[in-house]
């Protein structure tokens, strides 16, 4: 089972629930899709009947959940799917890129990736230089020029002075 969201609370009187998504996988929750709702030892199969965005979360309705009381019974539960969701294009897990080689556009060694960390302004790529210094750079284009999964390589076009911070 793969976690795709967490039910936070009922929304309105007609059975909707507010769901906080696991980052990167909102496409798994669409009308007609089946999910497994889990909370501690409780399990329940649900079918999504409606989805709409609201304040950075999704509001979902499920077949058979038609009022605030029945929606309230879902609060605090996790929504899971049977198959691992496909990651969006250009999506990389931190553990996936750890150990990949970081190079400049000319092929010069910059270091070895240690992961990706969330930050208020966006994700930061961390890598360790050959001298052992940890460097953090915004994990965005145009700094990240290319990522090659097959060769486990990240090409970075570093702004001047960034390595010195």
Q: Calculate what percentage of the chain has a pLDDT beyond 70.
A: 93
The superfamily CATH assigns to domain 94-164 is: PRC-barrel domain (2.30.30.240)
| Distance of alpha carbon 161 from the chain centroid | 31
The mean of the pLDDT values for the chain is 89
> 26 pLDDT exceeds 70?
no
Give the domain ranges of the chain. Answer: 2-81, 94-164
Place of tokens 């089972």: 1
Q: What are phi and psi of 143, to 5 degrees?
A: -65, -45
> 49 pLDDT exceeds 70?
yes
CATH match for 2-81 among 3.40.50.720, 3.40.50.300, 2.40.30.60, 2.60.40.1120: 2.40.30.60
Distances (CA, A) of 5 to 39, 44, 45, 95, 145: 12, 15, 14, 21, 32
pLDDT category of residue 152 using cuts at 50, 70 and 90: very high
- Three-class secondary structure of residue 68 per DSSP: helix
DSSP codes of every residue in 71-117? HHTTTT-EEEESSPPPPPTT---HHHHTT-EEE-TTS-EEEEEEEEE
Pairing mode, if any, of strands 153-156 and 101-103? parallel
pLDDT value of residue 123: 84
């Amino acid at each position: 089972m793969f976690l795709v969201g967490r039910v936070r609370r009922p929304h309105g009187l007609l059975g909707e629930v507010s769901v906080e998504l696991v980052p990167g996988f909102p496409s798994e929750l669409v009308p007609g899709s089946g999910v497994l709702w889990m909370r501690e030892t409780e399990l329940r199969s649900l079918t999504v009947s409606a989805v709409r965005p609201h304040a950075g979360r999704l509001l979902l309705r499920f077949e058979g959940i038609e009022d605030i009381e029945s929606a309230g019974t879902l609060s605090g539960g996790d929504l899971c799917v049977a198959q691992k969701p496909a990651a969006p294009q250009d999506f990389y897990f931190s553990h996936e890129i750890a150990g990949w080689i970081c190079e400049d556009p000319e092929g010069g060694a910059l270091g070895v990736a240690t992961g990706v960390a969330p930050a208020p302004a966006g994700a930061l790529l961390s890598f360790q230089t050959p001298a052992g210094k940890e460097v953090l750079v915004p994990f965005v284009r145009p700094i990240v020029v290319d990522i090659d999964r097959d060769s486990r390589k990240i090409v970075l076009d570093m702004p001047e002075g960034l390595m010195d911070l």
